[in-house]
Structure 1
Amino acid sequence: MPFPVSHSPEDDPRRFLIQDPTGVRHPIISLLAIDDRTGHATGLGTAFRIDPFGGYLTAQHVLEAWLAPSRPRATVVGLLNPGLVFGYGAIGADSMVIIGSASVFRTPPDDIALDRLLGRDSSRMALDCMMLSFKADKTRLHDVRDFLPLRLTGKWPKVGDEVMAIGFPELDSIQDRAIDAEVLSERMYGSIGRVTAVLPSGREHRPWPTFAVDSHWPGGMSGGPVFNRDGEVIGLVSSSDEPGSHDAQSYAFWFAPIPWLQRNLPHVDPSNAGWVRGWAVVRNAPWHVAAMANDRVQAEEIRATLTSDYSVRLGSLKAGSDDFMGADG
């Protein structure tokens, strides 16, 4: 499978507009901070859906300041795709969703007692990766279940490989602006580049697995997915050198060298990109997968509405098919 979208021959492959109303426009969303006092918006970055149950990933640096105890007085929202435009008061619209939970990866504090005394936090970012879910009070969160296939194990990228990042680079220009059609018009871009370095131990002051790419990914793309040539997401946009600097590059946070990351993504099959782990409601003869749930209680509730020949099994399901592998083999 190639990259998830292609560009026109006249487009610059390092930055091209994605206008297809389907496909990747559903699981990839923009993140905004809405000032609680003025209602003005600030663009933050990009996030993408990783399972049908509402799990998303983004870069931790995108939201860390906005979700900290000393955060600005603002509400962080995701704008669900595709490309809809809303007027003022958009937080109440069905496509503006508020973060319900966020999980971060940080080092232990240097001195917990001293931190409490000084009112500080001496822990540091361990991975530029954050898991998100949104409050489930919006219909569209349930209507759209498309997600991106993550590659958590397997072949590592090599120098010279082509990769594609997708995100919203124009979010960089949205700073404390009134919510209007331009702010809420989604302009998703793709950017293709070649891997220039593979750094399993990361870089100085950024000690998480990384690979570098010879393309410029602006701040608004931070947190967006990075695809390999098989259409699998192998990382997310982490940082970029200043444009115009000598040998300017961009950097992706890279999943594969972190085996314990798999335990924190319970619904992503680490060995089979695009497969979902969970509790399936199945019938053996004739074979049929009636549903896939993220917990056993929900699966049992679904099974109770069906005939007695259905059962609940833990395992992995290939998205969009009846292909299922039980956890017991």
Structure 2
Amino acid sequence: MTFPVSPSPGDDPRRFLIQDPMGIRHPIISLLAIDSRTDRAFGLGTAFRIDPFGGYLTAQHVLEEWLTPSRPQQTVVGLLNPGLVYGRGSVGNDSMVMIASATVFRTQSDDVMRDRLLGRDSSRMAFDCMMLSFKGDNTRLHEVRDFLPLRLTGKWPKVGDEVMAIGFPELGSIQDRTIDAEVLTERMYGSIGRVTVVLPRGREHRPWPTFAVDTHWPGGMSGGPVFNQDGEVIGLVSSSDEPRSENAQSYAFWFAPVRGIERNLPHVDPSNPGWVRGWAVVRSAPWHVAAMTNDRARADELCATLTPDYSVRFGSLRAGSDDFMGADS
């Protein structure tokens, strides 16, 4: 396998445009803040789908500030793949999805007593990672079930390995006076770099597993997936040095060293990237997988509509196939 996309001849591999309306653009989406007073859209970062049931990941720093009660004038949305558009096209409401839930990872700070005396939150960011789901009232959200294969265990990156990040560094809206309207620019980019250092315990003030890469990942790429050369997502874009600084690097939050991370990603098979865990409706002879769900009750309902030789089993299914491995629930 290789990276999910490759730069065209003549492109700079450190930053190249991805124009793939039917492939990788479906499970990777941009995140926007929309000012309710002006309707001006601001690009925040990137998120990507990790299972067919609507689970997404992004970097925690991308949204933590914007989801607080102190920002009542802003609405945060995900922008679904607009499809193949030549020139300018309108962005319909069906392209925008509202956040239904956001789950963060936090831990106690080093000085709980001081924080309490100062009336501050005594917790701090444990990992630069956030889980998202979007409200299911948007039919387009259910039309595409593609998701990215996560590598949660094994195959640690090594210094010199090539990795690729994908995201939306140019996302935002501007006033176009020629048509007297706001124009939203959304371009997906890839960026390939080499791993320069591997830090399973992280860095000072950022104590989560990290690896550094010898290229610059701009802010709009934050939260975007980072792939190894097998096409597996091994982390997400977390931060970058200033591009003008000497030996500037970018940093990825890295899944594999986090103990028990699979408990927080229940539908991701930790050992088999691209497999999804859930309740399957199966028939043994001849073998057939009729459905895969994230809910036992829903699986039972589906099973009841089929012939008696179907049953409900918990396990992992390889996406796009009938390959299934049973497991204890």
* TM-score after normalising by structure 1: 0.93
Paired position in structure 2 for 1:213: 213
Shift in Å, 1:73: 2.0
Paired position in structure 1 for 2:248: 248
Supply the distance in 2 between the matched residues of 1:201 and 1:67 (Cα, whole angstroms): 28
Supply the distance in 2 between the matched residues of 1:77 and 1:107 (Cα, whole angstroms): 27
Paired position in structure 2 for 1:288: 288
State the AA in 2 paired with 1:297: A
What do residues 35-81 of structure 1 show as CA deviations (whole Å, max 9, x unaligned)?
12222111100000000000000000000001123234211100001
Match of 2:299, SS state, is helix
Shift in Å, 1:208: 0.3
Alignment check: 8 A CA contact 2:40 2:182 kept = no
Shift in Å, 1:273: 0.2
State the AA in 2 paired with 1:3: F
Paired position in structure 1 for 2:301: 301
State the AA in 2 paired with 1:211: F
Match of 1:65, SS state, is coil
The range that moved more, 174-183 or 55-64, is 174-183
Shift in Å, 1:95: 1.2
Match of 1:94, SS state, is helix
Paired position in structure 1 for 2:236: 236
Relative distance call for 1:204 and 1:72 in structure 2 (3 A) is: farther
Paired position in structure 2 for 1:120: 120
Match of 2:123, SS state, is coil
Paired position in structure 1 for 2:262: 262
Alignment check: 8 A CA contact 2:209 2:254 kept = yes
* RMSD, aligned α-carbons: 2.1
Relative distance call for 1:218 and 1:180 in structure 2 (3 A) is: farther
Shift in Å, 1:122: 3.0
What do residues 105-159 of structure 1 show as CA deviations (whole Å, max 9, x unaligned)?
11136548974x8653232111000000000000111100000000000110000
Relative distance call for 1:24 and 1:39 in structure 2 (3 A) is: same
Match of 1:267, SS state, is coil
Match of 1:24, SS state, is coil
Paired position in structure 2 for 1:98: 98
Paired position in structure 1 for 2:167: 167
Shift in Å, 1:82: 4.0
Q: Which has the higher strand share?
A: 2
Supply the distance in 1 between the matched residues of 2:45 and 2:142 (Cα, whole angstroms): 23
State the AA in 2 paired with 1:43: G
Match of 1:198, SS state, is strand
Paired position in structure 1 for 2:314: 314
The range that moved more, 223-232 or 74-83, is 74-83
What do residues 183-211 of structure 1 show as CA deviations (whole Å, max 9, x unaligned)?
1x431000000000000010110000000
The range that moved more, 297-306 or 105-114, is 105-114
Paired position in structure 1 for 2:141: 141
Supply the distance in 1 between the matched residues of 2:72 and 2:202 (Cα, whole angstroms): 30
Paired position in structure 2 for 1:75: 75
Paired position in structure 2 for 1:155: 155
Q: Which runs of 4+ in 1 moved over 3 A?
A: 82-87, 109-115, 117-120, 175-182
What do residues 267-297 of structure 1 show as CA deviations (whole Å, max 9, x unaligned)?
0000000000000000001000001000101
What do residues 163-195 of structure 1 show as CA deviations (whole Å, max 9, x unaligned)?
000000112xx3787996741x43100000000
Relative distance call for 1:227 and 1:270 in structure 2 (3 A) is: same
Supply the distance in 2 between the matched residues of 1:177 and 1:205 (Cα, whole angstroms): 39
Alignment check: 8 A CA contact 2:115 2:121 kept = no
Unaligned stretches of 5+ in structure 1? none
Supply the distance in 1 between the matched residues of 2:280 and 2:291 (Cα, whole angstroms): 6
Paired position in structure 2 for 1:275: 275
Match of 1:263, SS state, is helix
Supply the distance in 1 between the matched residues of 2:114 and 2:284 (Cα, whole angstroms): 57
Alignment check: 8 A CA contact 2:170 2:186 kept = no
Supply the distance in 2 between the matched residues of 1:175 and 1:204 (Cα, whole angstroms): 35
Supply the distance in 2 between the matched residues of 1:114 and 1:164 (Cα, whole angstroms): 39
Q: Give me the identity figure in percent.
A: 79
The range that moved more, 126-135 or 297-306, is 297-306
Relative distance call for 1:122 and 1:189 in structure 2 (3 A) is: same
Alignment check: 8 A CA contact 2:77 2:97 kept = yes
Alignment check: 8 A CA contact 2:281 2:290 kept = yes
Match of 1:297, SS state, is helix
Relative distance call for 1:277 and 1:180 in structure 2 (3 A) is: farther
Match of 2:245, SS state, is coil
Alignment check: 8 A CA contact 1:225 1:237 kept = yes
1:9-88 correspondence runs (5 A): 9-83=9-83, 87=90
Unaligned stretches of 5+ in structure 2? none
